[in-house]
A and B are shown apart, each in its own frame.
Chain A
Amino acid sequence: MSASDHAVSLEAQIDQWRSYLRRRQAIHAVDVAELEDHLREQVAALVEAGLATDEAFLVAVKRMGNLDALSREFANEHSERLWKQLVVVPPGGGDPSTRSRTDAFVAFALALAAAVAIKLPVLFGLDWEHENRFYLRNLSLFALPLLAGYFVWKRQLGARALGWLAVAFALAAVFVNVYPYGPVGATEALAALHLPIALWLAVGMVYAGVRWREVGGRMDFIRFSGELFIYFVLIALGGGVLTAFVMMMFEAIGIKAETVFATWLLPCGAAGGVLVAAWLVEAKQSVIENMAPVLTRLFTPFFAIVLVVFLGTVLWTGRGVQIDRNELIAFDLLLVLVLGLLLYSVSARDPQAPPGVFDVVQVVLVVSALLTDALALWAIAVRINEFGFTPNRVAALGENVILLVNLAWSAVLYFRFLRGRAPFASLERWQTNYLYVYASWAALVVIVFPPVFDYL
């Protein structure tokens, strides 16, 4: 081998050694650089003493010591490094850092815009005290367009996506605002509740961008939604603490801060919080473990036990399920919860892994939820004539059916998977395709329900 061959192979070896070292969490890039300088110096000294390059490399690496022990020493000295930190602006400059800085800047600017947007109607005389129905109807139209805009910018989707989005949000705004809702406001409340669900699909389409047509892209959106929810709740908790302090401190000097809280802090914070949470989810994606799957892992067994015990009690005591509208909604929420548990376990599961104990627990959960819901539906079917068809009941019933169908087919797919008849991916495909059903139903409730029920 010639001298240049030696040099090439030495560089390759050092590269390999460096990348091996980089995988240690406790050893940062600057430390690797420091150690590499040492290694090269050592190799040079050994070569000068008469060793061949590759021998010198081996001796130098050996002298450096056992990497596990070294990494442990580094971890002892820098224990904070074992806690992954979200570095918004990584030190050391370079292209990725300017990128994430712009990202943070855009996200916070949009959060500010959302906070301003929610106060804009006040300029037109629409304040919360007198026009709270206006705000409830349009709640999703303050933050969601900006959130969608953030992803259009981030995914560089271009003018076509932007125009398409504008049409979707404009249509939504028209439908919730032109209908002559009556004083009872039942269909109006339903529209207010369902509009965010319908529009969330539009957010999902821009979130996934070109990958929306793939199962993976839609699954990422489901993961994003779960994490966003958790981060939003965390931000809200922090906001609550901040508010409590503001109230307490101003109370101490004899000023009531409640109105400032209700008219400024709460709405602006909530609107801006959506964007900040979305940005956080994106920024920490690869840094911190996803929380939603961890929580589902923790709670799936508990909910499975509760449902099984409930069913057992019903069978044992022979008590019929007494049901009115509120309880039907409670059963809807139960199905949503079980679906959430299923969805976020699915989202974190390695599709290639063979069936395990947790999958069985999951099936028990889904099947017991189905049986519980069947009891509720049976009760409501028996007394359907007493109830009559109000918009709320139809909506609650429709949602129940949608969730029931989803969970029933999920149970079938899960059974097939457990028995080795179908791949896990078929369950993923089913869940991600079902996103359209939720959005369509929500759109139906917003658009069709009011005229059908005479704007009740």
Chain B
Amino acid sequence: MAINKDLIAASSTPIVLAILAEGDSYGYAILQRVRELSGGHMEWTDGMLYPVLHRLERLGHIEARWEVAESGRRRKYYRVTPTGRDQLAEERRQWQAVDATLRSIWNALSIPAGDSASAVLLPQGA
């Protein structure tokens, strides 16, 4: 199951903000976390994360700093700002509203959810 592009784009802000709310992180680790959380369903094109990060940075939701990682390379870390946390709370309310609406309608329809239970979990890192 591949998730449609629009959904990926719409959900990228709350997902990135939420991951950064867990703790400061950097691009590659954020993507790993997304894979882990979604069980491999959210397949982001790696490069596309960066314009999203830069947009959030421009909006003031996150801030960036360069640090030297244990590998000796310079790495750009991101941290969520107070306005970012507010934004996350707002996004969360909105997504919960969407989620609640969808749940109600699924229940009313009572159509089986298809292959979600049998979805193939993509192997990590290969």
Given contacts A40-B73, A51-B126, contact A70 B48 (CB under 8 A): yes
Find out whether the CB atom of B47 lies under 8 angstroms from the CB atom of A70: yes
Stretch at the interface among B49-57, B82-90, B100-108, B114-122: B49-57
In the docked arrangement, what's the CA distance between A35 and B28, Å? 9
Instruction: Say how far B73's CB is from chain A's closest CB, in angstroms.
Output: 6
CB-defined contacts of A45 to chain B, threshold 8 Å? 125
Find out whether the CB atom of B125 lies under 8 angstroms from the CB atom of A34: no
Find out whether the CB atom of B46 lies under 8 angstroms from the CB atom of A38: yes
Query: Is A19 interfacial (CB-CB < 8 Å)?
Result: no
Q: Which residues of B in the span 27-49 have a Cβ within 8 Å of any Cβ on A? A: 27-28, 45-48
Find out whether the CB atom of B45 lies under 8 angstroms from the CB atom of A64: yes
Instruction: Say how far B42's CB is from chain A's closest CB, in angstroms.
Output: 14
Given contacts A41-B28, A73-B51, A77-B55, contact A49 B125 (CB under 8 A): yes
CB-defined contacts of B48 to chain A, threshold 8 Å? 65, 69-70, 73
Find out whether the CB atom of B47 lies under 8 angstroms from the CB atom of A34: no
Q: Which residues of A in the span 44-90 have a Cβ within 8 Å of any Cβ on B? A: 45-46, 48-51, 60, 63-67, 69-70, 73-74, 76-78
Instruction: Say how far B44's CB is from chain A's closest CB, in angstroms.
Output: 9
With CB as the reference atom, state the residue of chain B lying closest to A26.
Answer: B51
Q: Which of A34, A50, A74, A77 has the most CB of B within 10 A?
A: A34
Find out whether the CB atom of A37 lies under 8 angstroms from the CB atom of B75: yes
Find out whether the CB atom of A42 lies under 8 angstroms from the CB atom of B46: yes
In the docked arrangement, what's the CA distance between A64 and B46, Å? 4
Contact flags (1/0) for B58-91 with A, using CB distance below 8 Å?
A: 1000000000010101111000000000000000
Interface residues on A, range: 20 to 34
Partner of A31, one of B50, B55, B73: B50
Find out whether the CB atom of A34 lies under 8 angstroms from the CB atom of B51: no
Given contacts A70-B48, A77-B58, A78-B54, contact A38 B125 (CB under 8 A): no
Count B-side interface residues using an 8 Å CB cutoff. Answer: 20
Given contacts A42-B28, A77-B51, A77-B54, contact A63 B76 (CB under 8 A): no
Query: Is A33 interfacial (CB-CB < 8 Å)?
Result: yes
Partner of A35, one of B45, B47, B71, B74: B47
Find out whether the CB atom of B47 lies under 8 angstroms from the CB atom of A65: yes
Partner of A65, one of B27, B45, B73: B45
CB-defined contacts of B45 to chain A, threshold 8 Å? 63-66, 69-70
Q: Which of A40, A41, A60 has the most CB of B within 10 A?
A: A41
In the docked arrangement, what's the CA distance between A45 and B71, Å? 13
Partner of A37, one of B27, B47, B125, B126: B27
CB-defined contacts of B125 to chain A, threshold 8 Å? 45-46, 48-49
Instruction: Say how far A55's CB is from chain B's closest CB, in angstroms.
Output: 10
In the docked arrangement, what's the CA distance between A45 and B125, Å? 7
Instruction: Say how far A154's CB is from chain B's closest CB, in angstroms.
Output: 34
Contact flags (1/0) for A9-22 with B, using CB distance below 8 Å?
A: 00000000000000
CB-defined contacts of A37 to chain B, threshold 8 Å? 26-28, 69, 73-76
In the docked arrangement, what's the CA distance between A371 and B75, Å? 68
Instruction: Say how far A60's CB is from chain B's closest CB, in angstroms.
Output: 8
CB-defined contacts of A70 to chain B, threshold 8 Å? 45, 47-48, 51
Of the A-B pairs whose beta carbons lie under 8 Å apart in the complex, a sample of 20, sorted by A's number, is A33-B76, A35-B47, A37-B26, A37-B28, A37-B69, A37-B73, A38-B28, A38-B50, A42-B28, A46-B126, A49-B125, A63-B46, A64-B47, A65-B46, A65-B47, A65-B48, A69-B45, A73-B48, A76-B51, A77-B55
Give me 6 other A-B pairs in contact (C-beta within 8 A), A38-B50, A46-B126 excluded: A34-B27, A37-B75, A42-B46, A49-B125, A65-B47, A66-B45
What are the nearest 6 A-B pairs in CB distance?
Answer: A65-B45, A73-B51, A70-B47, A65-B47, A41-B28, A77-B51
Could you list which residues of chain A lie within 8 angstroms of chain B, going by C-beta atoms? 30-31, 33-35, 37-38, 40-42, 45-46, 48-51, 60, 63-67, 69-70, 73-74, 76-78
Could you list which residues of chain B lie within 8 angstroms of chain A, going by C-beta atoms? 26-28, 45-48, 50-51, 54-55, 58, 69, 71, 73-76, 125-126
